[in-house]
Amino acid sequence: MMIEKFTDGEMYHINGIVINGKITFICSFGYLNTCLAFQENKGVGEWMLAQNNPLHLRLVEFTEQLLDCMPTPPITTFHLEVFHTPQDEIVLCEIACRTSGGVVAPMIQATFGIEMDRYIARAQCGLIDDLPPVNETTELMGSYWFAPKHGILVSMPENIPFDWCVRYEMRGKLGHVYHGPTYSFDNYAIVVVKARTETELLQRIEYCISYVENATIWDSADISTTEQFVLHE
């Protein structure tokens, strides 16, 4: 049996590398919506905090204290999730000795020049490479996963005409019947955006969300007949 207490607050995740028991690389992201947003038919995303953001510095300190008191492999990547409460407390959600999934690792590689899994695999073989200085980065990155609506996906944009949108994946199947999202990262499209500041990054993500959703057409008419056809074709 597991008993959990509800914690109110914004969610963040922290990702890094530990070499010989010391954190040698760390970066943090804030969530756009939460992993429960699919229950409200919403998508989910994340945005990278600047290295000089005071909250990022607090998250680094929290992570260091946490790893000091928990059994940690001497060489590993880690993915930590926390709550930042309305009372300005940082509360542990969960932590794992693994590289983050989704598009987090590619965003880290594009921003900092660190390929997390390759780096840690080499390090575990005794080949510990030098890490680039993280404070020299001039870009931040964020992503968004578009939750499917209720209805038939009729059309969606084939591309996004903004050079700061560095990745766009069409994952939806045209003509397919969807019943809304069924899990946290259920999606019909993904975008990855870059910017120079946190404010610009969040604005660009919101602009991309509006662009894709306004350009996507869903047929929300009675789908029962169409559904039977799609399921048996």
Amino acid (1-letter code) at residue 131:
L
Give the whole-angstrom CA distance, residue 143 versus residue 211.
Answer: 14
Which regions of the chain carry the CATH code 3.90.1170? 141-232
Reference 104, options 144, 139, 138; nearest CA is 144
Reference 12, options 111, 67, 83; nearest CA is 83
Query: What is the CA angle 142-146-149, rounded to 5?
Result: 165
73: its two tokens? 């492999």
- Looking at residue 93, its pLDDT comes to 93
Give the whole-angstrom CA distance, residue 42 versus residue 36.
Answer: 9
131: its two tokens? 């890490």
- Looking at residue 185, its pLDDT comes to 85
Give me the residues paired with residue 192 across strands. 143, 167
CATH class of 10-138: alpha beta
Reference 17, options 151, 103, 148, 134; nearest CA is 134
Which regions of the chain carry the CATH code 3.30.470.20? 10-138
Distances in Å between the alpha carbon of 192 and those of 17, 45, 87? 23, 9, 32
Give the whole-angstrom CA distance, residue 167 versus residue 79.
Answer: 23
Contact present, 81 and 95 (Cβ < 8 Å):
yes
Task: Give every residue of the chain whose pLDDT is below 70, as ranges.
Answer: 1-4, 37-38, 136, 222-233
Distances in Å between the alpha carbon of 29 and those of 14, 19, 50, 172, 173? 6, 22, 9, 26, 30
- Looking at residue 125, its pLDDT comes to 96
Query: What is the CA angle 188-162-216, rounded to 5?
Result: 30
Number of Cβ within a 10 Å radius of residue 64: 13
What kind of fold does domain 141-232 have according to CATH? Answer: Aldehyde Oxidoreductase; domain 3 (3.90.1170)
Give the whole-angstrom CA distance, residue 113 versus residue 106.
Answer: 9
- Looking at residue 223, its pLDDT comes to 60
Per residue in 35-49, pLDDT tens? 776 677 789 999 999
Give the strand pairing for 217-219 and 10-19: unpaired
